[in-house]
Amino acid sequence: MRRYFSQIWYEMRHQPLVMWISVGGTALAIFMVMVLFTVDRVSFVPAPPEDNRDRMMVGFGVDLHFENGSISSLLSDTGVKKLYSKVKGIKYLSFTNAPETKDVGSDGRIVTEMSVRGVDDVYWKMFGIRFQSGHPFTAGDVESGSRVAVIAMSRARELFNDDEVRGRTIYINQLPYRVTGVVEDVSPFFTFAHSDVWVPYRKDTPNEYSEFVGNTTPLMELESKEVIPLVKREVKARYERLNKKLGEEGSSLIYHQEPFTLAEYIGNNGNNNDPDPDSARMGTWYIYAVLLLLPAMNISSMTRSRLRRRVSEIGVRRALGATRRDILGQFLVENLVMTVAGTVAGVLFSLLFCKLYITTFFPMENAGTWQLIKGGPSFSLIFNWETLGMAAFFCLVLNILSTILPAWKASRENPAEAISGKHD
Amino acid sequence: MDVIKLEGVEKIYRTKEIETVALENVNLTVEEGEFVSVMGPSGCGKSTLLNLIGLLDNPTKGTVDLLGSSTAGMKDSGMSEFRNRNIGFVFQSFHLIPSLNVADNVALPLIYRAGVSAAECDRRVREVLERLGMSHRMKHFPSQISGGQCQRVAIARAIVGDPRIILADEPTGNLDSRMGAEVMALLHELNRADGRTIVMVTHNEEQASKTDRVIHFLDGRQII
């Protein structure tokens, strides 16, 4: 084994570019797989403040067809009530407005763009958003349309240069809102919990075309993830019942398997279509496959190049008694060592990336401990050894397979011709 | 005893367009302990002859018997083992493996031989390098030693497995006269002291004249 390392070290010194590309390609492939996986996982894994991601559903919108046209829109509060209210298995049903970017300022007239989300009182029960001071607004505030707001701590500091801003006034699109509470910042990676400012949910005004059309995004927390099929069945039955009545008026609601799980919602990219998580998953697997195949092809080509330079060495080894199997084994082991080196580098880069990722993108009070992190997923939640192992394993297998053909060809060289360097 | 016996050996290289006769009807015997030189102009088939004797290539026609055994029909793995145990090679360009140090280069034939322990391998490498006056360079790499020393290492590698036949293809071709003389002295010592049979291709008439027999080739034919 020492001789294999010696050979590789020699080539590292004499063909640094080729060797580093070979090792680096493997490392990069594993790293990229882990990056994709980590970024993907961050969107789905239950973590504070969205601890309920695995049992959360979204009533994305409504697809309404008429005799001479159709409307695809967000739901109205009336529509939400008709479709989702009191469905068995739903623990919380929250009425929200999709976040909008608005001008937010303070008495000191600092005006900056911030994300403003309209939410009801139930919303605060669904998500573990932690209050630094104050409290969320109440059902009464929502019902009466009070101008009250909850603001993220960093944004409060930006506006007032102070953490304690409860009771003070902020201006959203120049309208005054009284701050009732200040919360810890929520990472933008939390699709529904994130915002800079939260204000009471704004009820829909009647729409001229349909009572189902509005600006409401209903968020649901189920009693458990096991009831997802039950909820879907119940909502489908409601669609069917509503369509019997709507059919008489010449319209119909198209059922797109709502409400969506988080995976379905993200997989649909904001489109009001039937969710297709299988295609999304296949797409991810294709990307993984390409990422793993690229270094294998790279190693195959590098191996051919290395073998061309070592033809006379192969001839000499054969002259000294090496069998074809010895030659094949020699190059397989050499590439195995390089692949393992690349894999180790890839694992280290992945670990480093994962740590940097959670320390950079998620607010933390105990960064660096790799423990459960307040306001974000823990390292162990987003880093998956199983995936890393699979990526490393497939990289190893593909790299070895890609070495076999050139190494086998090398082992079949005529020793006399190889020594004379005829193939050099 | 005939250590090397070639009968009616022919070697033809064929491509789609051309057929080149490298050796034609070669009949040759070399006895045990003999030091034979092969001479002739470039392209006359000297190296081809050495390749056939060394089982690095197969004759198109005829038979090659080594150490009393026919090599016809021998499998590739059988040839490898035969080479490993019975034939040592010395090349004009030394052909040391640049990534391996002197000791590792010399050890190669033993690595490919079944049943040789690491300790045994180290002992034999050390012995042979001491004999050739190269033990102080064991950890050096080929690029760190002179051409003459490289050829000494190559000779050490050729004899470490204790082969009965040594095939040397212009062993002094890349050396100056002083180093060439040293290498020739070594080969003669291996022949006389150990009784190894040596077949050497050379262009140097003086060196050839000091061997037991000189065989001349021209255009693929043995002329003397």
End-to-end CA distance of chain A: 27
| Residue A26 token pair | 């493997």
- pLDDT for position A175: 94
Beta bridge partners of A18: none
Among the listed residues B4, B34, B7, B42, the one whose alpha carbon sits nearest the alpha carbon of residue B203 = B42
**pLDDT range class, residue A23, cuts 50, 70, 90:** confident
Chain A: residues touching B (Cβ < 8 Å): 3, 6-7, 9-11, 14, 312-313, 315-326, 414-416, 419-420
What is the bridge-based pairing of β-strands B2-14 and B19-31? antiparallel
Burial profile A186-195: b = 16 or more Cβ within 10 angstroms, e = fewer = bbebbbbbbb
Report the pLDDT averaged over residues A255-274.
81
**Interface-testing mutation among B13, B48, B52, B56, with chain A (most A C-beta atoms within 10 A):** B56
Residues above pLDDT 70, as percent of chain B = 100
**Which of A15, A312, A320 best probes binding to B when mutated, by most B CB atoms within 10 angstroms?**
A320
B chain contacts of residue A319, beta-carbon cutoff 8 Å:
54, 56, 83, 89
User: CA-CA distance, A366 to A350, in Å (whole number)?
Assistant: 21
The predicted structure's pLDDT at residue A373: 36
Ramachandran angles phi, psi of B120, nearest 5°: -65, -40
Question: Is B221 domain-assigned?
Answer: no
Which residues in chain A are closer than 8 Å to B99, comparing Cβ atoms? 6-7, 9-11
Q: Cis peptide leading into A49, omega within 30 of 0?
A: yes
* Domain extent for B87: 33-50+73-213
- Mean pLDDT confidence for A294-316: 81
In a domain, B3, yes or no: no
Please tell me which of the candidates A14, A319, A321 has its beta carbon nearest to residue B81: A321
Of A115, A90, A71, A81, residue with least CA distance to A203: A81
Q: Do B109 and A7 touch (CB under 8 A)?
A: no
- Selected residue of B99, B105, B167 to mutate for chain A interface (largest A Cβ count, 10 A): B99
Minimal Cβ distance to A321: which of B80, B100, B104: B80
> Is A365's pLDDT higher than 60?
no
CB A189 within 8 A of CB A266: no
Helix ranges restricted to H, A219-372: 228-248, 262-267, 277-309, 311-319, 324-361
CB contact under 8 A, B99 and A322: no
Q: pLDDT digits over A32-82, tens only? A: 888 877 777 777 888 889 889 999 999 988 899 988 888 889 999 999 999
- Is pLDDT at B198 greater than 90 in this prediction? yes
| Res. A371 pLDDT band, cuts 50 70 90 | very low
Distance (Å) from the alpha carbon of B86 to chain A's nearest alpha carbon:
10
Answer yes or no: do B57 and A414 touch at CB < 8 A: yes
Mean pLDDT score of chain A, rounded to an integer? 84
CA distance A343 to chain B (A): 24
Look at B4 and A10; give whichever has higher pLDDT: B4
Which of A3, A7, A319 is facing B89, going by the closest CB pair? Answer: A319
Give residue-wise pLDDT tens across range A183-213.
998 888 788 999 999 999 998 888 888 899 9
A211-223 tens-digit pLDDT: 999 999 999 999 9
Q: How many domains does chain B have?
A: 1
Cis peptide before A259 (omega within 30 of 0): yes
Using a 10 angstrom Cβ sphere, with 0-12 exposed, 13-18 middle and 19 or more buried, the burial of residue A48 is buried
Of B94, B95, B98, B126, residue with least CA distance to B110: B126
Q: How far apart are CA B171 and CA B154, in angstroms?
A: 10
* Residue A271: strand, helix, or coil: coil
What ipTM was assigned to the predicted interfaces of this complex? Answer: 0.94
Establish if B110 belongs to a structural domain: yes
Residue A225: band (very low, low, confident or very high) from pLDDT cuts 50, 70, 90: very high
Quick check: helix, strand or coil at residue B61?
strand
Tokens of residue A230, six digits: 């039950």
Weakest mean pLDDT among A236-250, A307-321, A332-346? A332-346
Partner-chain residue, chosen from A9, A325, A416, that has the shortest CB–CB distance to B51? A416
Q: For residue A240, is pLDDT > 60?
A: yes
Position A133 scores a pLDDT of 93
pLDDT of residue A378: 62
Q: Which of A82, A47, A46, A42 is nearest to A62 (CA)?
A: A82
CB contact under 8 A, B161 and A325: no
Query: Which chain A residues are within 8 Å of B91, Cβ to Cβ?
Result: 316, 419
Whether residue A151 is predicted with pLDDT greater than 80 in this model: the reply is yes
CA distance A264 to chain B (A): 56
CATH code for the domain of B82: 3.40.50.300
- Report d(CA A355, CA A267) in Å as an integer: 26
The reported pLDDT for the residue numbered A2 is 62
Does B4 fall in a domain? Answer: no
Question: Does residue A387 carry a pLDDT above 80?
Answer: no
Q: Could you give the C-alpha distances from B171 to A80, B41, B183, B204, in angstroms and in order? A: 93, 16, 8, 11
Best mutation target among B55, B57, B80, B144 (most A Cβ atoms within 10 Å) is B80
Q: Residue B169 domain-assigned? A: yes
Q: Give pLDDT, residue B28.
A: 94
Residues of A in contact with B113 (CB under 8 A): 321
Check if the beta carbon of residue A198 is closer than 8 Å to that of residue A150. yes
For A159-169, what is the mean pLDDT?
90
Residue A146, phi-psi category: left (phi > 0), alpha (psi -120 to 50), beta (remainder): beta
pTM of the predicted model, to two decimals? Answer: 0.68
The pLDDT assigned to A38 comes to 76
Q: What is the pLDDT of residue B169?
A: 94
Q: What is the pLDDT of residue A37?
A: 79
Of A166-180, A375-389, A408-422, the range with the lowest mean pLDDT is: A375-389
Q: Is the pLDDT of residue A248 over 50?
A: yes
Q: What is the mean pLDDT of residues B102-106?
A: 94
A419 contacts on B by Cβ (under 8 Å): 56, 91, 95
- Looking at residue A361, its pLDDT comes to 64
Start-to-end CA span in chain B (Å): 21
Determine the distance in angstroms separating the CA of B2 from the nearest CA of chain A, rounded to an integer: 22
Q: In B, which residues are within 8 Å of A331 by CB distance?
A: none
Number of alpha helices (DSSP H) and beta strands (DSSP E) in chain B: 7, 10
Residue B130's contacts (CB-CB under 8 Å, 6 or more residues apart) are none
Report whether B150 contacts B98 (CB < 8 A): no
Q: Does B127 map to a domain?
A: yes
**pLDDT at residue number A1:** 60
Distances (CA, A) of A379 to A52, A254, A375: 18, 41, 13
Q: Which of B76, B101, B112 is nearest residue A320 as measured by Cβ atoms?
A: B112
Q: What is the mean pLDDT of residues A369-379?
A: 46
Residue A382 has pLDDT above 80, yes or no: no
CA distance B4 to B68: 8
